[in-house]
Amino acid sequence: MKKKKFDWGPYLYILPALVIIAVFRLLPILLSFIVSFFEWSITGVGNFIGIANYHKLLHDPEFWQSLLNTFYLVIFVVPVSLLLSLIFATLLNNIKILRSFFRSLYFIPTVTSMVAISIVWKIIFNQQTGLANFILGKIGIEPLGWLAESRGIFQLLFGNFGIDIPSWMGGPSLALFSIIIVTIWKGLGYNTIIYLAGLQNIPDVYYEAADIDGAGRITQFYRITWPLISPTTYYVLMMTTIVTFQVFSQIYLMTGPPIGGPLGTTKVIVYFLFDKGFGESNDLSYASAIALVLFAIILTLTLLQKKLEKKVYY
C-alpha cells in the first residue's frame, strides 16, 4: 500500500505566527533567563554569578514592597472591574434606544492612549486645582493629596473617626488607590463589551421558560445568566489579572520617577523592574531576574485560575 505523503500545508499557514511568537515571546524569555545568571549591564556582559541575583532579590525590601503594591493593585482592580463590567453590560443589554452610541461611549477609554488618559487624570487629581478635590469641597470634605499621599486608605478612613490603626493594616496608599481608579476606568469598556457579547449569546428561550415557571429577575440571574456567562467571566478574570500585573504607564506618568510615588508606595513590580534595568544602576541581569519572578507569579496564578475551568459551563 502506498504511503500517504505528509502534508506540510497546514504547518506553512501557522509558520508566520509561530515565528513571531518564537522571536518576540519565547526567545526573550530564554535570553532573560540566561542574562539573570550573569553580571550584565547596558555596557555588556560580565562574569557568571549563578543565582546571586535571585538571592539578592529575596533579601531586597524594595522588591517585597513593590510586590505588595502589585498585589494591592490586583486585589482591588480585578474584582471591581468584573463587577462593574457585568453591571454595565447588563444595563447596555437592556437598552433598546441608542444602544450603539452607549457601547461606543463605554469603549472610548479602551482605545484612548494611556499617555493622554494619565495626563488628564493627573490634572483631575491635582491637589490645588483638580476636579476631584473641587467635588469633595462641594460636599464638605477636606481636599486630599491624591497622588502625594503615602498613608493607606484605611488609615485615612479610620483616622477621620479618631481610630488609629497600624500601618500594615492601612491598605494601599491613597496615591496607589488613585492609580487603581484609573486602571479600572481604562479597562472597564473592554470588559463591558466582552460581557455584553456573552449576555447576547444566551438564548431568550431560557428566560421565557423561567417567566412561565414564575422565576423572578434575581433567580433568573443566578440560575440562568451567571452559569451561562461563566466562560466570559473566566476569560475576563484571566486577562484582567494578567494585564493588571503588567501595569506600568499610568504609574510612570502620574507618580514616577524617581522613586514611584510618595515613599515608593506606587512602585509596582514592573516599575521596579524598569527602574533597576534602565535607571541609574542599569543592572540588566537583576532586572531579568525580576522579570523571571514576575513571569513565574503570573504563570502560577494562571494555572490556579485554570482549576476554575471545572466550574465553567460551555
CA distance 224 to 112: 35
Burial degree of 30 (CB within 10 A; 0-12, 13-18, 19+): exposed
The answer to whether position 34 is within a domain reads no
Helix/strand/coil percentages in the chain, nearest 5: 70, 5, 25
Residue 268 CA neighbour count, 13 Å, CB half:
24
The answer to whether position 37 is within a domain reads no
In angstroms, the Cα distances linking 243 to 70, 189, 239, 248 are 12, 14, 6, 10
The residues of the chain scoring below 50 in pLDDT are none
Instruction: Specify the number of domains making up the chain.
Output: 1
Residue that the C-alpha cell 457601547 belongs to: 103
The answer to whether position 28 is within a domain reads no
The answer to whether position 172 is within a domain reads yes
Could you say which DSSP state residue 309 is in?
A: G
Owning domain of residue 193: 59-311
The answer to whether position 20 is within a domain reads no
The answer to whether position 282 is within a domain reads yes
The dihedral over CA atoms of 245, 246, 249, 251, expressed in degrees to the nearest 10, equals: 30
Per-residue cell: 228: 451561562
Q: Which residues contact 173 (CB under 8 A, 6 or more apart)?
A: 149, 150, 151, 152, 153, 261, 262, 263, 265, 266
We report the CATH number of the domain holding residue 240 as 1.10.3720.10
The predicted pLDDT at position 80 comes to 97
Closest CA to 74 of 303, 269, 257, 229: 269
The answer to whether position 287 is within a domain reads yes
The answer to whether position 18 is within a domain reads no
The predicted pLDDT at position 102 comes to 85
CB 203 within 8 A of CB 185: no
- Cα 88 from chain centre: 19
The long-range contacts involving 21-30, CB below 8 angstroms and separated by at least 24 positions, are 29/295
Burial degree of 114 (CB within 10 A; 0-12, 13-18, 19+): middle
Residue that the C-alpha cell 498585589 belongs to: 71
Q: Which residues contact 283 (CB under 8 A, 6 or more apart)?
A: 40, 41, 276, 277
Residue that the C-alpha cell 530564554 belongs to: 30
